[in-house]
Amino acid sequence: RFTDYELAVAKRAAKLRRDLELEWEGVALALELLDEVRELRMENQMLKQRLGRLLVE
């Protein structure tokens, strides 16, 4: 049995492989980089919110 998250990752991996014609190593790297981008965007949003609160005070 797989979790919803694991199924989503598998679907994303298959789409990357098919659409970009990547080898599995490239798929793994692409997934890592996409995860890192997502995390950085979330961190950036959090920092913008904190900065906004500091500027208002």
What DSSP line would sit under 8-22, residue for residue?
A: HHHHHHHHHHHHH--
| Token digits of residue 26 | 């490239």
Instruction: Please say if the pLDDT value at position 57 is more than 80.
Output: no
Tokens 């890592």 belong to 32
pLDDT of residue 15: 97
pLDDT per residue over 2-50, tens digit each? 999 999 999 999 999 999 999 999 999 999 999 999 999 999 999 999 9
pLDDT of residue 10: 97
Angle between helices 4-20 and 24-56 (to 10 degrees): 120
pTM for the whole thing? 0.78
pLDDT of residue 44: 98
pLDDT of residue 29: 98
